[in-house]
Amino acid sequence: MTKKAENSGITLNKSEVALVKGMLKRGDRQHDIAAWFGVNGGRIADIATEKKHKEIIAKTTDLPPKGPYLAGKDADAAIIALEAVKETISLALGLIAERRKKYSQF
């Protein structure tokens, strides 16, 4: 017997549902919309078919960029790369501070 996965606890508020509707109207794929918000695709399907949130009007301005979006593994790789950049910048700032201190003594 398989165990059902724990609920993520992520829910869409009214303003997010308006964005979902706007993204659907724009022609975004339901899969991409679900990925943007971090929800199950079924939640987007419920909105697309008006099974849920029928009363909420689609937002047509200030929509998120059109997908596809980074996969989790790609986002993780980007975070690792940014951490390396952060360390390099920190080291460079330390060297600059040392040189300023050294040359300000004259």
- pLDDT tens-digit map of 12-57: 999 999 999 999 999 999 999 999 999 999 999 999 999 999 999 9
Mean pLDDT within 83-105 = 93
Domain 8-69: give its CATH architecture: Orthogonal Bundle (1.10)
Domain ranges of the chain: 8-69, 70-106
- Residue 7's pLDDT band (boundaries 50, 70, 90)? confident
- The distance of Cα 34 from the centroid of its chain, to the nearest Å, equals 11
What average pLDDT does this structure show over 61-88? 94
The per-residue pLDDT of the chain, averaged, comes to 93
State yes or no: cis peptide before 68, omega within 30 of 0.
yes
Please tell me the pTM assigned to this model.
0.71
